[in-house]
Each structure stands twice: as C-alpha cells, then as structure tokens.
Amino acid sequence: MAVQLEHPFATTKPPEENFATITDLEEVVPCVEGGRVIERTDDDTVKAEIVVKMGAMSMKFTGTVEVTEKDPASHSATLTVKSREAGGQGHANATAIFALADGGGGTVSTNAQITGKAASMGEGVVAGVLDALIKDFTGKLSAKL
C-alpha cells in the first residue's frame, strides 16, 4: 500500500541553519514519535527504530534512515527510510523530501510504502496514523527550527 502526504512546517531560523538541522539525522529521527537512533553508520546514514501504534496494535520497525540527496543551494534534502517489522514479514519504507522556503517555513512531502500487518489495517487507518505521526513530527521539528 502506498500513501502520499504533504505537510507544512514553521521555522524561525535562517534556511542555512535549518538545512543543517534537517540533514542531521541524530536531530531529526527523535522528532518522530517512538523513533530513536540506534547507531550512526556514516555521515548520512543511521540505523534507527520506531514503535508505531495502530489502533490496539503496537509495531516496531527497525532499519536505516539515509540522507540520499542534499542541495544546500535550494535548501532541500531527501531522506530515505528502509525498515522491516520486528518479528513480522512487513516493511515500512518511505521517501521524505524536505523543501525549505527562503522566506521561512517549508514542506515535507512523504511517499510511504507499507506491507504486512500494518497494511492489513486498511488504507484509511494507515493514512490516518501516518498523517498524525507526520503532523506531530513537523511540530517537533518546527520547535528545533
């Protein structure tokens, strides 16, 4: 199942500072509710995990988060998430494109692919959970920016 979402976020600092923050995975990953960095594997990649609640179920996904594209001139970056459900056969992969506006603020466009138990909950439930998760994320990220 594929889900596409777009969320705005607010900033108070200059785009150059914000760009440094959105490409710092040890700053960004903990902004996701239930997310944490397990270890940094190189400058642009971390091993991470997230625990997600979907209705009465709670699922843990582990994998990698990588900054796959960086454009300091346009203040944009692409983060790629590849994860597997712990103890299951599902995965949650995503691409998040961050675009900072010169006048402040920005957007994050997310394209997620979900399989396994999470996908069996139905597209409406999955989209609702992801939407709430990303709204919470952008709120926490805005506090850093």
pLDDT given at position 71: 97
Rounded to two decimals, the pTM is 0.94
- Whether 84 contacts 96, CB under 8 Å: no
Q: Give the residue, 118 or 71, on which the prediction is more confident.
A: 71
pLDDT given at position 82: 98
Q: Spell out the residues 6+ positions from residue 17 whose beta carbon is closer than 8 angstroms to its own.
A: 145
- Whether 62 contacts 38, CB under 8 Å: yes
- Total structural domains in the chain? 1
pLDDT given at position 102: 87
CA–CA separation, 1 vs 123, rounded Å? Answer: 7
N- to C-terminal Cα distance for the chain?
Answer: 32
pLDDT given at position 26: 97
Supply the CATH number for residue 115's domain.
3.30.530.20
Q: State the chain's mean pLDDT as an integer.
A: 94
Domain range for 133: 2-144
Q: From 109, 132, 114, select the one nearest 32 (Cα to Cα).
A: 132
CA–CA separation, 109 vs 57, rounded Å? Answer: 26
pLDDT given at position 122: 86
Q: Where are the alpha helices (DSSP H) in the chain?
A: 15-22, 25-28, 117-120, 123-144
The predicted model gives 89-100 an average pLDDT of 96
Per-residue pLDDT band at 68 (split at 50, 70, 90): very high
